[in-house]
C-alpha cells in the first residue's frame, strides 16, 4: 500500500453506501489523493420492474455518491455505463436463464463492468490505483509483481466469492480498505466520520433479485417463443406432466411441479432440454454428483496446470468449503472431483477455489460428468 509521502492518486468506486464511503475516507486519511467515481448502471427514470432488485445496483438515490464526496471534500465524477450493463449483465442473465442455466450477475458485473470501467476512468484521470468497498482483501506482493485475493476478516460479510473473475492486472492496481475490518467497526467509523447522515444504504453485494423478479425480468426482455410451454418427463422418458416455461424452474426444485400421480409427488428437477423445452424430473438422489466440468476458469494465483491441484471449493456464496481435486485441461477448462458427492450442481453457477483464506480462482460450472468423464468442450 502507498505511503502518505508518495501521495498516490486513487479512484474510489462510490455507490453512496456506507462501505464505499468509509473506504474513501480511510484512504484520504492515509494520505491518498482521492477521487470518487459513481458508475451509473441504469437509465434515469427506468422502471423498477426492469432493475435487479438489490441495493448494489438498484439505482435508488443516485445523488447519494455525490453527497458523500461533497461531505468528504473530494472530487466527484460519474460514468454512464448503462449500455454495457444492459449488454454484459442484464442480457447475459436473461440469455443464460433462457438456456436453463443459473448465472450470477454480481460476478459478471464485477469483471465486465465495475472493475473494467473503474480502471478505464483511472487511466483517464492519471490515477495510480482504484479502490472499492468490497469485503475482501487484496495483498500486493511487490517482490514478484503479483496480487493475491483473500477473504474478508468478517466472514458474515465476505464477498470474495464474487470477485474470482477480476483479472490479475486489475488486482495489481486495486485496494479494498474495509476487507480487514469487521462490519461493526465499519459502522462505527462511518458514525465517527459523520457519514451516516449522507450515506445510509448498506452496499453489500446482494443484487440478485427474488425469484419472482427473475421471472418478471426474463418475460419482459425475451420473446414468448423462447419461454414456451413443454412437457415434463422422467429420466427413462415417461411423460408425466406439462410446464409453462423452463425459466420458471431451477435445478433441485420440488415445489410447483404440479405432478398429478402420487408416485411422482417427491420428484425434483434434475435437468433441462432447452431445444425441446423439456423439463426432466426424478428422485432426489439423482441430484448428487461427484465430478463436474468447469469452463472460463480464471486463476488469480498461478497454478501448475500439469499437476492435479488439491484445494477446497464453494458452489455458492456463504457455503462451507468442500475438499476437491482440480485437473486442468485446454482452453480454461478444468475437471473437479469432490471427495464426497454434492447436491444440486447447476450449469451456469460459479465455483470458486480456496486455499485457506486465499482465493485461487474460479470458473463457471458446465455440467456434471457422465461415467465416461466427458463433457462437451472438455478435451481429455
Active site residues: 109, 207
- The DSSP-derived string for 64-122 is HHHHHHHHHT--EEEEE-HHHHIIIIIHHHHHHHHTT----HHHHHIIIIIHHHHHHHH
Q: How many CA atoms lie within 13 A of 204 on its CB side?
A: 14
Q: What angle do CA 70, 71, 74 make, to 5 degrees?
A: 55
Contacts of 164 (CB under 8 A, 6+ apart): 107, 149, 298, 300, 350, 352, 353, 359, 361, 362
DSSP letter string, 210-244? PHHHHHHHHHHSS-GGGG--EEEEETTS-EEEEES
Determine phi and psi for 212, rounding to 5 degrees. -65, -30
Smallest Cα–Cα separation from 322: which of 298, 341, 300, 309? 341
- Residue 178 CB-density burial (10 A; 0-12 exposed, 13-18 middle, 19+ buried): buried
CB atoms within 10 A of CB 62: 15
What is the Cα–Cα distance from 83 to 87, expressed in whole angstroms?
A: 6
Bridge pairing between strands 129-131 and 9-13: parallel
In this structure, what C-alpha cell is assigned to residue 137?
482483501
Take residue 118 and report the three cell numbers written for it: 473503474
> Can you tell me which residue has the cell 471449493?
313
Asked if 102 and 147 count as a contact pair (C-beta separation under 8 A), the reply is no
Q: How far is residue 134's CA from residue 109's CA, in Å, rounded to a whole number?
A: 13
**Would you list the DSSP string of 110-176?**
IIIIIHHHHHHHHHHTT-SEEE---SEEEEEETTTTEEEEEE-SSTTT--GGGGTTS-HHHHTTEE-
Amino acid at each position: 500500500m502507498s505511503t502518505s509521502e508518495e501521495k498516490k492518486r486513487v479512484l474510489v468506486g462510490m455507490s453512496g453506501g456506507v462501505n464505499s464511503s468509509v473506504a474513501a475516507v480511510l484512504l484520504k486519511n492515509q494520505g491518498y489523493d482521492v477521487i470518487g467515481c459513481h458508475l451509473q448502471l441504469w437509465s434515469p427514470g427506468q422502471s423498477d420492474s426492469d432493475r435487479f432488485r438489490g441495493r448494489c445496483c438498484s439505482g435508488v438515490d443516485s445523488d447519494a455518491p455525490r453527497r458523500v464526496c461533497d461531505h468528504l471534500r473530494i472530487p466527484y465524477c460519474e460514468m454512464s455505463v448503462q449500455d454495457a450493463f444492459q449488454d454484459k449483465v442484464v442480457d447475459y442473465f436473461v440469455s443464460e436463464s433462457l438456456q436453463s442455466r443459473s448465472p450470477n450477475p454480481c460476478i459478471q458485473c464485477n469483471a465486465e463492468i465495475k472493475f473494467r470501467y473503474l480502471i478505464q476512468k483511472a487511466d483517464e484521470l492519471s490515477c495510480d490505483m482504484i479502490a472499492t468497498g468490497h469485503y475482501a482483501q487484496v495483498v500486493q506482493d511487490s517482490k514478484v509483481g503479483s496480487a493475491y485475493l483473500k477473504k474478508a476478516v468478517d466472514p458474515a460479510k465476505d464477498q470474495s466469492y464474487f470477485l474470482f473473475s477480476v483479472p490479475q492486472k486489475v488486482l495489481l492496481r486495486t485496494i479494498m480498505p474495509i476487507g480487514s475490518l469487521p462490519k461493526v467497526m465499519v459502522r462505527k467509523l462511518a458514525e465517527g466520520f459523520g457519514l451516516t447522515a449522507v450515506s445510509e444504504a448498506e452496499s453489500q453485494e446482494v443484487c440478485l433479485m427474488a425469484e419472482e423478479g427473475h421471472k418478471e425480468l426474463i418475460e419482459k426482455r425475451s420473446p414468448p417463443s423462447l419461454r414456451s410451454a413443454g412437457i415434463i418427463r422422467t429420466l427413462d422418458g415417461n411423460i408425466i406432466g406439462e410446464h409453462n416455461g423452463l425459466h420458471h424452474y431451477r435445478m433441485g426444485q420440488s415445489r410447483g411441479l404440479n405432478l398429478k400421480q402420487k408416485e411422482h409427488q417427491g420428484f425434483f428437477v434434475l435437468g433441462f432440454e432447452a431445444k425441446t423445452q423439456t423439463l426432466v424430473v426424478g428422485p432426489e438422489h439423482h441430484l448428487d454428483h461427484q465430478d463436474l466440468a468447469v469452463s472460463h476458469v480464471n486463476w488469480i494465483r498461478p497454478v501448475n496446470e500439469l499437476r492435479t491441484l488439491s484445494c477446497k471449493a464453494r458452489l455458492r456464496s456463504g457455503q462451507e468449503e468442500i475438499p476437491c481435486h482440480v485437473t486442468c485441461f485446454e482452453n480454461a477448462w478444468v475437471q473437479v472431483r469432490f471427495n464426497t458427492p454434492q447436491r444440486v450442481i447447476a450449469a451456469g453457477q460459479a465455483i470458486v477455489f480456496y486455499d485457506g483464506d486465499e482465493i485461487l480462482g474460479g470458473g463457471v460450472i458446465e455440467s456434471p460428468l457422465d461415467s465416461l468423464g466427458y463433457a462437451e468442450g472438455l478435451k481429455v
